[in-house]
Structure 1
Amino acid sequence: MSRHPEEPVQDMIDRLAKELAHAPEPGFDIASTVASGRKAVRRRRIAAGAVVLATALVVGGTAWLVAPGNDDQPDSSQVAVEPKATPTPTQTPTQTPTQTMSAGLEEEAEPVVTGTAGEPAINPAAAVIERDSFTASNGKQAEIYHLRLHGTEYYVYLQPDSASSFPLPAQGLTLREWAEVQLVGPDIEDDQWLRFDRGSHVTPVLFGLEIVKQVQNPGLGENFAPAGTPTALVEARLDGVTFFLAVRSIDGQRAEAISYRRDDRITTLQQFRTFALNQYAENESGGSEGLR
């Protein structure tokens, strides 16, 4: 409908009312069309929800169950089930840059470091020369390694909750011999080697043990034995193998001989004495490392 410029406003209103009074019947059912539209929207929502569910399972493992709703309820296509919330992991205490750097430098030089779950692990910087699964004579099991780290070679054994390492030549032991000693202990107890027969002079107790040389009261210091205690350093042979022994008898007890099997680093009794002196010297905490 167009309005002529000269047509009064009232006449135009009258014409409009007359035309609307004779409007044709609608060609479709508005109510049913709207209801169908709502159903279509719900189906699209359900389909979209299924895609989101599949993506969540692949990416994050968060399970949401999307259930089709009742068509009689306009808002029935909603999330029907929400699984129990996954516990929030405990936060790791924040370390200062200095602490982190210090810990990193310490671990960098060690063949065994702490793994991501707190377990002992091989330093990633180490080169593995040999690796094997080992079962000791007492049934204990471990993963054993021969490693090289920063120019030094080590023997290492790992168990789920423990580990040990030792720099080569490791008293001349093979990797498996070393692992056996670590997991079982030496075949010979400390008090089975020797005895003091007079003063600080020792004689063999162990059958087949031959004393090559001995030094009485070698002066290894208070950390090895209190003043006045009988002590000795001994070079001995057993079954063709040379051992160096640091011997002491504290409070009148049986002689205790701490053994070191000859290797490429310590080849003489004098070298063993120097090594023992260093091991029993005072350290920053006032104690000593000792030969153990």
Structure 2
Amino acid sequence: MSLPELHEEIDRSFGDGPAHRPVSERIQAGRTALVRRRVTAGVAALAVVAALGGTTWALAPGGDPRAGEGYVATDPPPTPGESESAAPAWEDNTPLRYLDGELQIRPGVVVHDRIENPYGYQPPKKSDALDITFEGKRQWAIVRLTERGYGYSSTAPSNGWASFSAYVADQVDGATGGDDGWPETLRLTDQGTVVASPGSEILQRTDDPRLGDSFAPAGTPTGAALVRAAEDDFAYFVVWRVIDGKLDVITTPPDDVVGATFDELVSYARSQYDSGEGLR
């Protein structure tokens, strides 16, 4: 038998084997497998991600969500058609804020523990206490949302408290700013004089702000001041009135104070009460 005939005989001995699938089917099968792998990877990623408001908390390696350790705030992906610059820029040195009524954690902030609504506010008011690391520094922080905006305060850990929960409990028990959520900046003495609360400091004041009858009846003790609060060391612009022996202090957010002179703040308050709108 010649060599070519021998090759043909060997080929025939193997048979034709199963028919090949059409090329189009093989391509589609490959695409399906690729999609399956992508979906599986997506599910694995979602297993360690939880959304809070407009911010995503991703679990850092070794973190345990049940223990509240290791959450790292990251920017959420923009929704279809949404600009990445839709959210306002973060203010300097502000790791927490409320935006559209939802708590947001600044990207890069590590959240070790969180106590939701320690002040027991009713919606739409909110409060949150968090044990965080921000820009490499550990801090215990409380952020509160009221009808006037949000306020933020923080302290170094264990600064007189045995634990984070003890710190939060002490802040709640010692809150003297009333139901409005602002820190106490002023107090009324037994002699009827308005002075700074313990630890706070009056930077500027006037006892004749001329806010008009819509603010208080004629002859009512009134005033306005720029006060640095002992609770968080922020400067607040406040106006006050003493009615029936009780001091009523109306506070504006500290962000509204930045860049404005005291005279401008008083003038703004005057225009607000002249219009009947007021500061509340």
TM-score, normalised by the number of residues in structure 1: 0.34
Structure with bigger gyration radius: 1
TM-score, normalised by the number of residues in structure 2: 0.35
